[in-house]
Amino acid sequence: MSIEVRGVTKKYGDFVALDDVSVSIPTGQLTALLGPSGGGKSTLLRIIAGLEVADGGTVEIEGTDATALPPQRRNVGFVFQHYAAFKHMTVAKNVAFGLEIRKRPKAEVKAKVHELLELVHLEQFADRLPSQLSGGQRQRMALARALAVEPSVLLLDEPFGALDAKVRKELRDWLRRLHDEVHVTTVFVTHDQEEALEVADEIVVINGGRIEQVGSPDDLYDAPANDFVMGFLGEVTVLDGHLIRPHDVVVHTLPAAAGAGAVRGEVVRITRVGFEVRVAVRPEAAPEADEVVVTLTRTFARSLGLEVGSTVWLEPEDGARVVPVPRAVPVGTLGAADPTEPSEVPVA
Amino acid sequence: MADSRLIRSRRGPVTYVLRVLVVLYLFLLVAWPVSLVADRAFRATGTHEGGVGPFLERLTDPATVYAFNLTITVAIWAVIANTVFGVGISLLLVRYRFVGRRVLSVLVDLPLSVSPVVVGLALVLAYSSTQGWFGGTLETIGIQVIFSTPGLILATAFVSLPLVVREVVPVLEEIGTDAEQAARSLGANGRQVFRRITLPSIKWAVVYGVVLTSARSLGEFGAVKIVSSGAEFRGETATLFVHNHYQAFDEPAAYAAALVLVLISIIALVVVTYLRPKEERA
């Protein structure tokens, strides 16, 4: 394990940012710390980097106890959400900074900077100032700067958070490819579940200063440990007292095709969003309850001939993961109570 | 910029009245009196000759040269002290949270609101060889503070203390700590971060503060008047020189020195205006 965090606690006054957090981050992988704002994920990253001091617990990087080490002696690369560019230095000087601090020979610095700028596709901007670059370019420069010192771990704090949607998506793909090239242990913080699912090898879900679940993107999506993880990693709807993904609900237009436990309801709304169709169904047995939302492909919805007002029967798809709806569980302790234990629908 | 021009594009009579008022105010208060000083510096009065020759003669008089030398020496030391401590205090105020931070912030501003004469009196009480805490001790090791150059430097540094701090603090607040933290994570220690990242970022604010401090130091009168013996060749700074010679009915010499002080201020203002756009661009 590349990074071992044990029992880390951090408080800001009365606010508990991290509550006895322990996590292992595997070597050479791309790990996402995923969670809502204020959940403690950035704090954890900053504690790993040494930019923040934990109130308790230990941090081990590559087998060395780093708890008391200052940031400059941890050999970590850190990339900030707002780039943290050295505004008075050219792009090349920014990238060379860490090497010049380490007093490497001039020729070596020059070669390394050139190599890194090529890696991040900024070689033609070497002599520009950061203010002459776009946001995406600045962030790539910051990445090259962090990689220059050959860190044992690369830490990215919401690296694409300040960029617009299109650039964010490009950089996301680019980060994935870059990681496949350089294989440095990378941890990035994000509140965007799509980003985490798409880029990461492993995801650590953090909420309310605690770790909710650790696993691969598929594990987390298919087998969420509790209703919070399920709700945070994708859309959910409530069917017959259970949380379920809208695309895991099967719609029947004839009762004969539906199973015994199917929920009978009336279509109240059909919304078309690009290739997918969202159907809102009011269950007949509990009309005062929330509508069940089902997502279908456009083709399938058309073949069913759904219309507002038609009667349908809904049931979970075979093998779909469902989680009982928590009964008025206080915020912040989600996942601690028993009724939220997940279950799986037996394959028929 | 374009917006403010749009707002002012409709010029009614009120605009013109306001303009005339402002120009008149500035003329009566500043431009006219100062121009009279310039005029007097070159004019012949009574037994004194006028013109450029006698003007230069008065300025090269040993007493005048001594006064300006002393003023410049004092100003240089005061500027050095206030630049070093000013940047230090600014970092302390912006980058650290500690008990008494607000009190320190208010204390830094105090010299702006306290009359320089009071500053002078306070320094005499604290450092004079007869009644101060350290005065006696310092004198036994051969350093006289009051009625000597160190006292002048102390007084000048005191009154110009806030100028560097008030320029640097907003810039430090604006640049934030991200770049400094990035430098740390790249292996730089505290000194390297300050020299390579923090200092270049606040460079123009420091320069601006230094210019203001210099202008203030060269023109200081009240505090200096109290802590200096104020006699010719014995602690007579340029401002004291002007005062003494004016009192002694040697008005041409007073006006000549006064004009030089005015010119120095104008040069400082020009330097500041020249620096401003650079600072904004950075």
Distance between CA atoms of residues B10 and A285, nearest Å: 70
User: From the list B182, B188, B196, which residue is nearest A78 (CB)?
Assistant: B182
Distances (CA, A) of B9 to B14, B15, B18, B22: 13, 10, 15, 19
Give the DSSP letter string of B105-135: HHHHHHHHHS-HHHHHHHHHHHH-TTTSSSH
Contact list in A for residue B201 (CB cut-off 8 A) is: 87-88
At residue A340 the predicted structure's pLDDT band, cuts being 50, 70 and 90, is very low
Residue A80 has pLDDT above 60, yes or no: yes
CB pairs under 8 A between A and B: 64
Contact list in B for residue A78 (CB cut-off 8 A) is: 181-182, 185
State the pairing for strand pair A202-207/A30-34.
Answer: parallel
Model confidence pLDDT, tens digit, residues A15-57 = 999 999 999 999 999 999 999 988 899 999 999 999 999 999 9
Residues 6+ apart with CB under 8 A from A323: A224, A226, A227, A230, A242, A243, A244, A340, A342, A343
Minimum Cα–Cα distance from B191: chain A residue: A101
pLDDT score of A284: 85
Chain A within 8 Å of B166 (Cβ-Cβ)?
no
At residue A343 the predicted structure's pLDDT band, cuts being 50, 70 and 90, is low
Q: Which tokens in the block code for residue A18?
A: 């991290």
Contact B178 A98 (CB under 8 A): no
Minimum Cα–Cα distance from B198: chain A residue: A86
Distance between CA atoms of residues A206 and A23, nearest Å: 11
Residues 6+ apart with CB under 8 A from A238: A244, A289, A290, A292, A325
Residues 6+ apart with CB under 8 A from B53: none
Give yes or no for a contact between B231 and B174, defined as CB atoms under 8 angstroms apart: no
pLDDT score of B242: 93
Q: Which tokens in the block code for residue A139?
A: 């962030």
Contact B182 A82 (CB under 8 A): no
CATH superfamily, with its number, for domain B51-281: MetI-like (1.10.3720.10)
Give yes or no for a contact between A290 and A238, defined as CB atoms under 8 angstroms apart: yes
At residue A344 the predicted structure's pLDDT band, cuts being 50, 70 and 90, is low
Minimum Cα–Cα distance from A76: chain B residue: B185
Contact A80 B201 (CB under 8 A): no
Give yes or no for a contact between B185 and A51, defined as CB atoms under 8 angstroms apart: yes
Q: Which domains does chain A have, with CATH numbers?
A: 3-222 (3.40.50.300), 235-344 (2.40.50.140)
User: Which of A48, A52, A76, A80 would you mutate first to test chain B, the one with the most B CBs within 10 A?
Assistant: A80
Residue A122 has pLDDT above 80, yes or no: yes
**Average pLDDT score, chain A:** 87
Distance between CA atoms of residues B37 and B258, nearest Å: 7
pLDDT score of B132: 67
Residue A160 has pLDDT above 90, yes or no: no
Listed residue (A83, A199, A175) closest to A134, CA to CA: A83
Contact B186 A50 (CB under 8 A): no
Distances (CA, A) of A168 to A46, A101, A145, B64, B77: 22, 31, 19, 68, 53
Distance between CA atoms of residues A122 and A140, nearest Å: 8
Q: Sign of dihedral through CA atoms B256, B230, B111, B217? A: positive
pLDDT score of A332: 40
Contact A142 B182 (CB under 8 A): yes
Give yes or no for a contact between A23 and A206, defined as CB atoms under 8 angstroms apart: no
pLDDT score of A254: 85
Q: pLDDT exceeding 70 applies to what percent of chain A?
A: 93
Distance between CA atoms of residues A292 and B50, nearest Å: 100
> Higher confidence at residue A342 or residue B239?
B239
Minimum Cα–Cα distance from B193: chain A residue: A101
Window from A133-137, A303-307, B155-159 with minimum mean pLDDT: A303-307
pLDDT score of B134: 72
Walk along chain B (282 residues) and give the pLDDT tens digit of each residue. 445 555 556 678 888 999 999 999 999 998 999 999 888 888 887 777 778 888 888 888 999 999 999 999 999 999 999 999 999 999 999 998 889 999 999 999 998 889 999 999 988 888 887 776 777 777 777 777 788 888 999 999 999 999 999 999 999 999 888 899 999 989 899 999 999 999 999 998 999 899 999 999 998 999 999 988 878 888 899 999 999 999 988 888 899 999 999 999 888 888 888 876 655 544
Chain B within 8 Å of A211 (Cβ-Cβ)?
no
Alpha helices by DSSP H, chain B: 2-7, 13-26, 32-42, 52-60, 62-95, 101-113, 116-127, 135-140, 149-159, 161-175, 178-185, 190-193, 199-219, 222-227, 238-247, 251-281
Contact B179 A84 (CB under 8 A): yes
- Tally of CB atoms within 10 A around A195: 22
pLDDT score of A19: 92
Decide if the complex's ipTM is over 0.85. no
Three-state secondary structure call for residue B45: strand
Residue A166 has pLDDT above 70, yes or no: yes
At residue A327 the predicted structure's pLDDT band, cuts being 50, 70 and 90, is low
pLDDT score of A273: 86
pLDDT score of B101: 92
Q: What's the DSSP call for residue B149?
A: H
* Neighbouring-strand partners of residue B45: B48
Distance between CA atoms of residues A263 and A150, nearest Å: 58
Contact list in A for residue B200 (CB cut-off 8 A) is: 88
Chain A within 8 Å of B279 (Cβ-Cβ)?
no
Minimum Cα–Cα distance from A80: chain B residue: B178
Residues 6+ apart with CB under 8 A from B262: B34, B37, B38
pLDDT score of A338: 40
Residue A6 has pLDDT above 50, yes or no: yes
